[in-house]
Structure 1
Amino acid sequence: MPKQNVEMLAFNRGIISPLALGRVDLERTALSAEIQTNWMPRVLGSMMLRPGLEYRWETNDSDVAKLIPFVFSTDETALVEVTGSSMRVWDGDSLVTRPSVSSTITNGEFTSNLNGWTDADETGTVSEYEFAALLGGRMKLTGNGTNQAARYQAVSTSSAGTEHALRIEILRGPVELKVGTSAGDDSYISATLRTGTHSLTFTPSGTFYIQFSSSLKRSVLVESVAVESAGIMELPSPWAEDDLNYLRWDQSGDVIFVACDRYQQRRIERRSATSWSIVRYQPEDGPFRIVNTSPITLTPSALSGDITVTASEDLFTNGHIGALFRLTSAGQEVQESISSDDTFTSSIRVTGIGNSRAFSVSVSGFSGGTVVTLQRSPGEPGSWTDVEDYTANTSKQYNDELDNQIIYYRLGIKSGEYGSGTVTVSLSFAGGSASGVVRVNYIVDGTEVGASVLSDLGSDTATSDWEEGAWSDLRGWPSAVALYEGRLWWSGGDYMWGSESDAYEDFDDQTEGDAGPISRAIGSGPVDVINWLLPLQRLLVGTEGSEKSARSNSLDEPLTPTNFNLKNISTQGSARVPAVVVDSKGLFVQRSGLRVYEMDFKASTYDYGSMDMTTLAPKVCSPGVKWLAVQRQPDTRVHCVLNDGAVAILIYDPVENVVCWVRLETDGEVEDAVVLPGDNEDQVYYVVKRTINGATKRYVERWAKEDDCQGGTLNRQADSFVVYPGSSLDHLEGQTVVMWGGGRDLGTATVSGGSVSLPSGVTEAVVGLPYTAQYKSTKLAYGAAMGSSLMQRKRINALALMLANTHYQGLQYGSSFDLLDDLPGMSQGAAITDDTVWEGFDEESFTFNDTWDTDSRLCLQASAPRPCTVLAAIMSMDTNDKA
């Protein structure tokens, strides 16, 4: 009977569908596998028993967690762990923690007063205690636009030289914080604190001073401040557990911007390795909806500060808390209460001819040698020149008689010309209009709200010319975010918003020119939720019905308010899974959740197009993908976390035409994946749900480096492993574990009391959960016409293997997983020494125990903790049996 050799020289073709097993006429499918689980192929062609998962820590209360990577640079990284109740930070090899210190802050909760806090208010400002039902007491600071309201406290300590952390809750920001060696000194901390929670560290040399201040004309509120107790730093998380997979983020420097459908955006801020904040993202100048077209008017009670806004009909609901409103008045009025040098009103814009140019000037409250000056600037604000001086209370009309010219005017006190007291100045012009912005703080009823003026209003009379902010609990919040071309982009519902260029919190649509903000409706398709934004050569948008490209008229031109178009590039539609970037390409999960598509730039269409990456294995991602993470070193691997707790891994190299799918399985369920950059290998982290001693646990586990999975003293091929006894085994209590130490397989043991017994002479070992790798080839064929050997009776009679870094009993082989043999125990006529790990194995073939069948296969199996790497397999087959 004739013999044929079947050569398997590459294991990087991956899993194919059972429906494609007959396509042995194609080299790609002929070298593929029906099963390839827990093997890790390389682009070069070999495959190894995948690296183990090293136990790092348990999630907070073993809750469901989302890991957000923080990458300031390749060697300055952190992991932000977000659960439904808290946020913690893993920096390097430890969670950010606080040491024990003796320092305490007096009355940091502001229980009933501001006792313990020294008044440092400047002229014309107020710091005071305020109480609100349900919210309790807080420190309220109200400046006057120039001078600051301030309170400070000296804190003595017996823990000098030890790092301290201040936990600060800001109910309404921004608040200026200074921490130093004296009142007003900022040698330890100088920070602007936004609305949210802050945990800021410093190391005092002795008594330190904490000062809160604000010069804003509106009030800001400090809810609490305390020296943190010893232990792990935790900040409150606003998102519910069910929302964690819908978090979307992008990072700029020390700030991570986070979007989530139904939640106001957040900023996660880092000021140092141990100083972190989670605060609200609150632009003060937009974006806004269309101009009001109803008959409802809005009337502000004042032009600045804390005011009320009254609607002519029911308008306001609880969903408006935090919303912006922009009010545009007929006519212009500006005013200021001044108690310091170099302070002026905002400007008015004067146009027209004759008496229509006249405007009112008012000055009152003079005392002690102050000089008030009226100034003007032609064309635009900036080139200010003096017009008139006032040294006494004044109320007059002024007409510059500069017909048909546009002139800006302002009123105030120049440097060196302030005497004493508070001078109130104002300008009022009947022509033109002025706009100001308020943020709603609380609801009185359907017609009245309390609000803070963010930019001064132009009049306190009723106006129907108003716009509501685009974002609020009522109108919804963005569901995706991305940084692209120097703008921060948000999207949600049927809209996209791009910030002003290089100004990530500015959305003033009155800014002229190409740097202005961009606001566009998508306008077609099912767009209730935009699932992702992806910044490639163009900004790509994934919706439920299609994928779109945001583009200018030319590829080399940036997006601008007047050069912005949205075009469909694919109508596959996307699942609610964030897309990922691989160089100039993108990968996204199709609407079914079962298929992964590549988006690549197509020269033929001069835009992006999509291609199915799961064509040969359409069910490899069944029962659906819930998260993607990209690893770039040592190969490009896309970790697709599946709904059943397995991971489908795509080994991906377009240059070498490698599209290889394999599966990773562990004794538990992988719920999340994230990648941080490494030197020669990226750091891959999983959140794994395990059942330990009858209890549900969630562990953060990190892939071992491939260089540490080649044998040696400590071979890191076990799951949830630690190096023992350097670390406790409490997290595996009651589990049967495998052990490797001293360069050999130490067998199994059961963890009891957080420990196991190591054999004599072994001082430390890698101890963790076992896992098994299985490989089952596609249908075997041979000859020039490969398909001609299908459906013929045949059997494998011999097998030759080329191996590297493999335990002498690290691989089993056979025609099925129910009939496996160990590798030969003899080499060149001599018995192989126990626990030998071959650096290379390249010997003659050995007998393969097979039966005659039309469907003969090669099955390979390896198990942790024994290393194994397969380079090639050569099978000798008998054919044409007549029995």
Structure 2
Amino acid sequence: MSYALNNFTGGEFGERLRYRVDLAKYRSGCRVMENFFPMPWGGVENRPGMVYLAPARSTGKILLIPFQFNVEQAYLIEATDQAFRFFRDGELLSGHITTPYSADELEDLCWTQSNDVLFLAHPNHPPAMLSRITTTSFRYETITGHSAYRAPFMDENSDGITLTASISSSGATAQITASDELFVSAMEGALIRWSSPITGNAINETFTGDATGEKVLRVRGSWTLTTGGSFVGTLHLERSEDGETFSAYRSYTVNAERSLNDTGYCEDRVYFRLRFSGWQDPPEGTLYECRAALSMEAYEDYGILSVNKVTDSTHAEALVVEELPATTTESWSFSAWDGCHGFPALVQFYSGDRLVFARTAAEPTRVWLSAVGDYLNYEAGTNADEAMLLTIKTGNGQGGVTGNAISFLGNRKELVIGSWAEIGSLKPKDESNPLAPDNKQYMPETSPGGAEFPPLPINDVLLFVRRGGENLMELSYNYMTDGYQAPDLTILRPEILSEGGGIKALALVQLPYPVVYCLRHDGVLASFTYNRSEEVTAWARQVTDGVVESIAVLQDPSGYDKVYLAVRRGSRLNIEELSRRDDGDTCSGIWLDAAKRFSFEEAVSQVTATHLAGLTVSAVADGIVYPGLVVSGSGVVTLPEEAKEITVGLPYVSTLETLPLEIMQAPESTFSDSKKNSSVLLKYYRSAGGSLRNSGSSKEHDLVFRRAADLANGPIELKTGTSKVVLPDRFDWERSVIAVQRDPFPMTILGLVNDLEAY
């Protein structure tokens, strides 16, 4: 019987499913798919090589971060112990910048980007900004140290502890006394928001000539100005930030027949006073006077202190950053982000133009959203565009509430919030209006929860890692149930992540077709070709002679995204780039790892690749393969023949093994039959080299692609077509076909038609 396989979009199957012939994806699945990519249109192609770019700055722990301003201006950030370096178009830019992140802290770094600013979050350090200053230079600065930063604060004291300050003036150093034990040494550097009610909420001035009012009104929020009497001239409302230096704010020119009634709003605390100019004396026998009243509703005013030194549990020294409204208060709160209470571990954007931080050591279920368009403003307010905060009641997935910390943030139409047991969404309660402090709700959506990995947005879904790090899940909206669902994408290959110790990092390639890279803790890349609309969900494994430590993807205008890798090869740590697959007619691509390419006008027999010193490599020289070359201790590679176009690197093997060739279609089944596969008709596309064998034999049958038109011992053109390979075989209970590519050339398999016999 003819057993045709022309679709491999089922990817690798798990060993526990290798006999599930009844599954729809069985005929498109494989037992082994190593260093092959299943393509969304059915076939498979072996992966291209990895091109060596540079040695890492150090051989310790490393993290690669993408910095994508646009498709033309993209940078790779190499983060190592307390330093960032930058690559552009594969070239290392000169110099580095210093950061506070030690090598052991890099795995907890979280980031998101807005144009040319990368926002960084880490639980041990203040949130920060990495800004691109020029096309070749960057600046690192903390958000908390920026002049425009407005700090978030914890909930107000509820323990009845009273604080007393020795002085309230801005810029002064105050001695702070607590009525009960409060201070610990870790609070040095923390802020204290010092609140007190303002009840004197009006001033009145009477003018009978040009003069400046004697009274000052401390204002925050809405204010009202009214006048009475008859007068001619100009009344000035003057404003001050510090209560001492005033400048013009609003002016009202009035004749004897009109009085004033004006209102306004001050988001920040300011000071107002009144002044009159251009006074005109009244006609004889008439009384002129301007009776002005400036008022506002009573409000809770505040000042800010920065703790410099903790003397003991009830005494501290602090700088008055903003003037205190009173010297004693019971209404105070500590800053939410500081060395004592922790710093936010997560950062993400919300589609309503807010920057979102979440989870500190002291408040593991709290979320802070910036003011709209003002990413450094976290002073919570009540207006729709002001900053807001909320505490998420994370569920246990069974209707109960737990204290599980927030594990990830995702940006969709709503803000997706994951915890270990549950995933929910933050959205407007009234969806006809934007998210606001008085128009927000958190809704539990689905369980199980997610691990601490930023989810990957693909079209209308989010891919996230389930708690434990061994399952990739798909969070999607189900219009039939009006809710979210989260199917397991590893269901057909349940061991794909666990056998490597779970997921270490995630990255997404969108072009030429979507591939999700799941970097495992053992350094293997589990690749997942994903196209939900065409039901393509295929796992494969990409391995190399080394351990992949980190991965990052940058978009590129060529239509091929660039994949960058930090690869540990022995004692060396390299920065490498996955080569772009060359779809030309000749073997012009790179199919070796840690590869370096040389081009000369005159033929040479030696090249130098110091990063390969002491290793055994292969070389492709003018299209001819020379395997088993030993690189000298100084990095010199000596070729048997001279050549002009030379690529040297580490060889790797690409292997594809089908699932057992079984048929289960009533009334027929081959499960109980003995089988043999005597020949295979191979359908291939732009390929060279490779071999086929049956699972019952160790003998590989080389695929011959060279034709009479090809030059002897010279470069060969890639071939597209059909080849029949005879595979001597004997009957046995199980048969599968194995395709192997050991040569540094491309191999694309479109179909395998097997001559299967069963009895």
Fold match by TM threshold 0.5 = yes
CA displacement at 1:686 relative to structure 2:
1.3
**Counterparts of 1:794 and 1:529 in 2: how far apart (Å)?**
55
Q: Does 1:504 align with 2:375?
A: yes
Q: 2:686 aligns with which of 781, 796, 805?
A: 805
C-alpha offsets along residues 236-289 of structure 1, whole Å, 9 cap, x if unaligned? 222232322221111112211111223321211111122212211217433111
**Counterparts of 2:247 and 2:6 in 1: how far apart (Å)?**
88
CA displacement at 1:311 relative to structure 2:
2.4
Matches within 5 A, 1:167-566: 233-282=95-144, 284-293=149-158, 294-299=160-165, 301-313=167-179, 314-331=181-198, 347-348=218-219, 379-381=263-265, 386-387=274-275, 406-407=295-296, 433-459=300-326, 461-484=327-350, 485-492=352-359, 493-509=364-380, 511-525=381-395, 526-553=402-429, 557-566=433-442
Counterparts in 2 of 1:351 and 1:735: CA distance versus 1, 3 Å:
closer
Gaps of 5+ in 2: 202-214, 226-237, 252-260, 278-288, 396-401, 601-606
User: What is the one-letter code of the residue matched to 2:617?
Assistant: V
Task: Give the alignment's TM-score, normalised by structure 1.
Answer: 0.72
SS of structure 2 residue aligned to 1:524: coil
CA displacement at 1:15 relative to structure 2:
0.5
Counterparts in 2 of 1:351 and 1:81: CA distance versus 1, 3 Å:
closer
Q: Does 1:19 align with 2:16?
A: yes
Counterparts in 2 of 1:59 and 1:824: CA distance versus 1, 3 Å:
closer
Whether the aligned pair in 2 keeps the contact of 1:711 and 1:806 (CA below 8 Å) is: no
**Counterparts of 2:628 and 2:588 in 1: how far apart (Å)?**
15
Counterparts in 2 of 1:748 and 1:310: CA distance versus 1, 3 Å:
same
Q: 1:852 aligns with which of 707, 731, 753?
A: 731
CA displacement at 1:606 relative to structure 2:
3.1
CA displacement at 1:551 relative to structure 2:
1.7
CA displacement at 1:482 relative to structure 2:
0.5
Counterparts in 2 of 1:661 and 1:306: CA distance versus 1, 3 Å:
farther
Q: Does 1:6 align with 2:3?
A: yes
SS of structure 2 residue aligned to 1:73: coil
User: What is the one-letter code of the residue matched to 2:307?
Assistant: V
C-alpha offsets along residues 621-673 of structure 1, whole Å, 9 cap, x if unaligned? 12211110000001100000001111110000011110000001111111211
Corresponding residue for residue 81 of structure 2: 84
C-alpha offsets along residues 723-757 of structure 1, whole Å, 9 cap, x if unaligned? 13788411111111111131232333111121202
Point out the more displaced range, 602-611 or 612-621.
602-611
User: What is the one-letter code of the residue matched to 1:242?
Assistant: D
Q: Does 1:657 align with 2:538?
A: no
Whether the aligned pair in 2 keeps the contact of 1:62 and 1:697 (CA below 8 Å) is: yes
Whether the aligned pair in 2 keeps the contact of 1:715 and 1:741 (CA below 8 Å) is: no
**Counterparts of 2:390 and 2:697 in 1: how far apart (Å)?**
58
Corresponding residue for residue 572 of structure 2: 697
Counterparts in 2 of 1:587 and 1:555: CA distance versus 1, 3 Å:
farther
**Counterparts of 1:22 and 1:562 in 2: how far apart (Å)?**
56
Corresponding residue for residue 768 of structure 1: 649
**Counterparts of 1:278 and 1:821 in 2: how far apart (Å)?**
57
**Counterparts of 2:690 and 2:224 in 1: how far apart (Å)?**
91
Counterparts in 2 of 1:876 and 1:236: CA distance versus 1, 3 Å:
same
Whether the aligned pair in 1 keeps the contact of 2:119 and 2:347 (CA below 8 Å) is: yes
User: What is the one-letter code of the residue matched to 2:73?
Assistant: E
Matches within 5 A, 1:86-165: 86-97=83-94
**Counterparts of 1:442 and 1:91 in 2: how far apart (Å)?**
45
Whether the aligned pair in 2 keeps the contact of 1:436 and 1:455 (CA below 8 Å) is: yes
**Counterparts of 1:551 and 1:768 in 2: how far apart (Å)?**
52
Corresponding residue for residue 33 of structure 1: 30
Corresponding residue for residue 494 of structure 2: 618
User: What is the one-letter code of the residue matched to 2:730?
Assistant: T
Q: 2:595 aligns with which of 721, 725, 728?
A: 721
Corresponding residue for residue 231 of structure 2: none
Counterparts in 2 of 1:432 and 1:86: CA distance versus 1, 3 Å:
closer
User: What is the one-letter code of the residue matched to 1:704?
Assistant: S
User: What is the one-letter code of the residue matched to 1:566?
Assistant: Y
**Counterparts of 2:9 and 2:685 in 1: how far apart (Å)?**
16
User: What is the one-letter code of the residue matched to 1:684?
Assistant: V
**Counterparts of 1:256 and 1:598 in 2: how far apart (Å)?**
27
Whether the aligned pair in 2 keeps the contact of 1:806 and 1:868 (CA below 8 Å) is: yes
SS of structure 1 residue aligned to 2:58: helix
User: What is the one-letter code of the residue matched to 1:467?
Assistant: S
Whether the aligned pair in 1 keeps the contact of 2:77 and 2:85 (CA below 8 Å) is: yes
Counterparts in 2 of 1:265 and 1:528: CA distance versus 1, 3 Å:
farther
SS of structure 2 residue aligned to 1:707: coil
Whether the aligned pair in 2 keeps the contact of 1:713 and 1:741 (CA below 8 Å) is: no
Whether the aligned pair in 2 keeps the contact of 1:56 and 1:700 (CA below 8 Å) is: yes
CA displacement at 1:5 relative to structure 2:
0.6
**Counterparts of 1:309 and 1:467 in 2: how far apart (Å)?**
17
Whether the aligned pair in 2 keeps the contact of 1:508 and 1:517 (CA below 8 Å) is: yes
Gaps of 5+ in 1: 98-232, 335-343, 354-360, 364-369, 390-398, 409-430
Task: Give the alignment's TM-score, normalised by structure 2.
Answer: 0.83
Corresponding residue for residue 815 of structure 1: 695
CA displacement at 1:347 relative to structure 2:
3.8
Question: Identity over aligned residues, as a percent?
Answer: 24
**Counterparts of 1:690 and 1:673 in 2: how far apart (Å)?**
15
Counterparts in 2 of 1:433 and 1:600: CA distance versus 1, 3 Å:
closer
C-alpha offsets along residues 694-739 of structure 1, whole Å, 9 cap, x if unaligned? xx2221111100127x673643011111113788411111111111
The ranges of structure 1 where at least 4 consecutive aligned residues each deviate by more than 6 angstroms after the TM superposition are 349-353, 370-377, 382-385, 399-403, 825-828
Whether the aligned pair in 2 keeps the contact of 1:711 and 1:837 (CA below 8 Å) is: no
**Counterparts of 1:772 and 1:766 in 2: how far apart (Å)?**
17
Whether the aligned pair in 2 keeps the contact of 1:248 and 1:532 (CA below 8 Å) is: no
User: What is the one-letter code of the residue matched to 1:524?
Assistant: T
SS of structure 2 residue aligned to 1:531: strand
**Counterparts of 1:744 and 1:599 in 2: how far apart (Å)?**
48
